[in-house]
Amino acid sequence: MALTGKIPPDFGNLTFLASLDLSGNNFYGNLPQEMARLRQLRFVMLGFNNFNGEVPSWFGVLHQLQVLNIRNNSFSGSIPSSISNISTLQTLDLTYTSLGGQMPKEIGNLQNLRVLRISGNNLIGSIPLSLSNATRLMTLELSVNYLEGNIPKEIGKLLNLKVLAIQANQLISSIPFSIFNISGIKVIGFSYNTLSGDLPTDMCDRLPMLKVLYLGFTELHGHMPLSLANCSKLQTFVLSDNKFDGPIHSEIGHLSNLQDLSLENNHFEGRIPQEIENLDNLVSINLMANQITNCILLFEIWEWKSLYFTMLRSTCIYTITRGSIKASYI
C-alpha cells in the first residue's frame, strides 16, 4: 500500500541520513526547507509522487549528493541554477516534472554528471553550450520540450555518450556532423524536429555501436548512407516522413540484428534488394508512400516470417501479419 501525506518539517532532524527513497507513493505538497539540513545525503529518490511547488534551491547545498531523482511529480517554476553547484552529482532525473523556463546556463559545471534526464517538461530556449563541459555524460535526454535553435555542435565533445535523445522539440538546422564522431553511442533520437541536411555517407563507419536511430519527421534529405553494413548492431532504423531519396542499398541486408525498419513517406525508389531476406530478426517493416517497384518480391521473401509488414505500391496496400497476406485496393 502506498504511503500518503506531506513530508513533515521534523524530517530535517534526520541529519544522519545518507539515502532517502520515497519513490512510488502518494506524497504531496512542498518539500520542507528543513530538509536542507540533511547534508549527508548522497541519494535522493522522490519520483512518482505528487509533490508540487518549486524545486527547492536548497538542493544546491547538499554537496555530497550523487543521485537526485524527482521525476514524475507536479513541480512548478524552473530548474534552480543552484543545482549546478552540486559538483558530486552523477545522476539528475527531472523527467515529467512540469518544469518550465530555460535550462541553467551553468549546468555544464556538473562535470561528474553521467545521466541527465529532463524529458517531458516545458523547457524553452536553447540547449546550453556549457553542456559540452560535462564530458562524463553517458545519457542525455531532453525530449518532449519546447527547446529551439540549433543542435550545438559542441555536443560532439561528449565522447562518453551512449544515449542522446532530443526528440519532439523545436530544433532547426542540420545535425552537426561532430555528433557522428561519438564512436560509442548506442541511441540517437532527433525525431519530430524541423531539421535539414543529410546524413554522412560514412555514418556507420563512425558509429559501429549504434543500436537505435530515430530520425522520423525531421525533413532530412539525401541518400541512405552507403556505410550502412557497418552498423551491424542496429536494431531500430527509423527514417520515416522525411525527404530521403535514391535506392534502398543492398547493404541493409547485412543488418542481422534489425527488428524495426521504418522508411515510409520518403522518396526512395527502385527495387527492394534481394539481400533484405537475410533480416531474420525483423519484426516490423513499413515502406509505404515511396516509389518501390517490387512488392511481389516481398511476399516471396516474407510469406514464412513472423512479422508485421505494410507497404504501398501504386494502387494497392499489401499487409503481411504473422505469415498471412492481405491485399486491399485503393
Q: Based on the number of CB atoms within 10 Å of its own CB, is 126 exposed (0-12), middle (13-18) or buried (19 or more)?
A: middle
3-state secondary structure of 218: coil
pLDDT at 71 over 80: yes
pLDDT tens-digit series, residues 163-178 = 999 999 999 989 999 9
Q: b/e string for 295-316 if b means 16 or more Cβ within 10 A?
A: bebbeebbeebebebebbbeee
Distance CA 92, CA 157 (A): 20
Tell me what pLDDT residue 295 has: 59
DSSP H helices, 170-293, are 203-206
3-state secondary structure of 277: helix
Entry pTM: 0.91
pLDDT for residue 43 is more than 90:
yes
What is the reported pLDDT for 137?
A: 98
For residue 65, the cross-strand partners are none
Taking the C-alpha atoms of residue 34 and residue 28, their distance in angstroms, rounded to an integer, is 16
